Homo-oligomer: A and B are copies of this chain.
Amino acid sequence: MPKIDKPRGEWTIHDIARELGVSAKTVSRVLNHKDGVGAELRERIQRLMAEVGYQPHLGARSLRTRISTCIGVTMPVGPESVPLSQHFVLWIIEQIYAAFGRLGEYVCLDLNPRAGVDAGDYSRGIWQHLFKACVIAGPLPVDDRILRRIHDSGTRYVVFSRLDSVPEANCAVVDYERAAYESTRFLIERGHRRIAMLRSFEGLNPGLERLRGYQRALKEAGIPFDERLIRSTGLSAESVIAGTHFLLAQEGVTALIDSSGMEDGESLREGAARAGKRLGREGIELVAWSYQKDMAVCTEASAHVWLPMRESAREGIMMLADRIYGRAEGPIRVVYPPVLQDYPIGQLLPTPKRFFYQE
C-alpha cells in the first residue's frame, strides 16, 4: 500500500519517485524504457506505476520533447466547395485504422479547423503540437500557402492532392492531368473536334490538372481551345444536369468528357435529353470518369476512365505509417496513372458506388 495518498490516475513521476525514495529521472527512465536503471529497481517502479494507475501527462511530455501524440486527419476544403461526402471521411478513417489501429495510436480528426476557439487553418493541429503526423484528406486550393509551411516544418504528412507551388510535396494522388489528356485524345482519335468537358474541383489543383490535360491534347491535335466547352459542376445532381444541358446544347458538340467525379450517369442522361441529344456512339460520344474499376457510370459511354483514388490514398497512408515507424525513409510520392477502359458498347457493368455526393 503506497504511503502517499493520492487518487489513482493522479500520480506524477515525482510522486512515484518520492514514494520509492528515488529521483524523478529514474522513474522517467523506466517509463520510457531507457536503460540506466537496475533490474530490481525498475521492477519496483513498474509495479508501483501499475498499482496507482500512473499515466504520463502527454501535454507535459510533448512540451519537453516536442514530440506530439496523435495521428491527425484534416481537410483542406469544406464540404461547401467540394462534393466530399461524410462517407469519404469515414472511408479515410477506415484506412487509417487499418494502418494504425493495431498500434494503439490516437487518431485525431480536425473536421472543421476554421471553427471554434482555436480556429485556424487545416494545419492547426500541427502548430498546436497535437499532431505528430498528419493525413491531409482532400484536394488543395491552387493558391494554398499552407502546405509549403507544413512541408518545410519537417512534419510527416501525406496529402491527397498535388500542388504547383510545392512540387516536392508528399502526395498520394491520381494523375488527373493524364486522365484528361487521355480522355481527350481518345475522342480526338475517334474524329471529334468539339469536345465538351464537365469538370469539378474548380479553384482546386485537381481541377487545374484536368484543364491542362485537356488543353494539351487539343494543342497537340491543333484544335483551338474554346472555354465555353468547359463547365464546372457543383454538388448536386441538378448541377450535373444543368452543366450537361449547357454543354450539349452548343452547336457542333459531338463528344463529352465527364470528369466531374460525380459518377452520376442518370444526370448526364437527363442533361443530354434536355439539350435534345442522346448519349452514345450515334449521338454524343461519352467518356466518363469513375473511382472504381470495371464499373460503368453510364452504359452509353464509349470508355470509362478509372481513377484509382482509393488505391493511391491507401498506399499513401501506408507509406506514412512506414515513415512514422522508421520502416522506410524518403519522400512520399504516389501517383497512380488513370486507366482508360475501352469496353465494347453495350457490355453491362455494374454502376459504381458513388464516392462524392451530397448528404
Residues of A within 8 A of B (CB): 7-9, 53, 55-63, 68-70, 86, 89-90, 93-94, 97, 101-120, 124-130, 149, 152-153
Contact = CB atoms under 8 A, between A and B. Distances in A.
B94 A117 contact: no
Given A62-B59, A129-B57, A130-B69, A114 B120 contact: no
B104 A117 contact: yes
Nearest to A8: B149
A68 B105 CA distance: 18
A111 B118 contact: no
Contacts of A111: 97, 101, 107
A247 B63 CA distance: 59
23 contacts: A7-B152, A57-B63, A57-B128, A58-B129, A58-B130, A59-B59, A59-B61, A59-B68, A69-B128, A70-B130, A86-B94, A86-B97, A90-B90, A90-B94, A93-B109, A102-B112, A103-B112, A104-B110, A104-B118, A106-B108, A106-B125, A108-B109, A109-B109
Contacts of A128: 55-58, 69
Contacts of A68: 59
A25 to B, nearest CB: 18
A63 to B, nearest CB: 5
Contacts of A94: 86, 90
A314 to B, nearest CB: 15
Contacts of A89: 97
A183 to B, nearest CB: 33
A54 B53 CA distance: 36
Contact of A127 (B55, B97, B113): B55
Q: Which 8 interchain pairs have the tightest Cβ spacing?
A: A104-B116, A59-B59, A104-B115, A55-B127, A59-B62, A9-B127, A108-B108, A90-B90
Nearest to A120: B55
Contacts of A149: 7-9, 53
Given A59-B63, A129-B57, A115 B86 contact: no
B102 A110 contact: no
A315 to B, nearest CB: 20
A356 to B, nearest CB: 17
Nearest to A150: B9
Contacts of A70: 70, 108, 130
